[in-house]
Amino acid sequence: MIARLWHGNVPTGKADEYRAFLNQRAIPDYHYVAGNLGVKILEKQDGEVTHFILLTFWEDYEVIHSFAGKDISKAKYYPEDKDFLLEFEPTVEHYEVVGEAG
């Protein structure tokens, strides 16, 4: 299993609206991709900025290629992200899941 981590930050005043957007749009989109094993949204407020990490789980790298394209390190964005994000980080991180509990 491969974990894919994307990070974005929004003004704290828009965090509630962005969280709702991610839950209503991103989670269902990921859920319907064959080979996606799950999605978690992590959030941390840091003063005037709120950080979001989208943590997705995939069967293998081939599945990620079918989702993300040739360069799987490149971040994918929704058009609506321009209304929330303070910057567009160009890349994501991938980690092999080597242990699990629960």
- Nearest CA to 9 out of 41, 39, 40, 44 is that of 44
- CATH code for the domain of 20: 3.30.70.100
Name residue 12's amino acid: T
102 within some domain = no
DSSP line for 4-36: EEEEEEEEGGGHHHHHHHIIIIIHHHHHTSTTE
Residue 32 counted as domain residue: yes
pLDDT band for position 1 (cuts 50, 70, 90) = very high
Establish if 58 belongs to a structural domain.
yes
What confidence tens digit (pLDDT) does each residue in 33-83 have?
A: 999 999 999 999 999 999 999 999 999 999 999 899 999 999 999 999 999
* Residue at 86 is within a domain: yes
Percent of the chain with pLDDT over 70: 100
In the DSSP assignment, the letter for residue 101 is: -
Structure confidence at residue 101 as a pLDDT band (50, 70, 90): confident
Domain containing 85 equals 2-96
Number of domains composing the chain: 1
β-strand partners of 10: 50
Both tokens assigned to 19:
């969280």
Is 42 domain-assigned? Answer: yes
> Is residue 61 one of the residues assigned to a domain?
yes
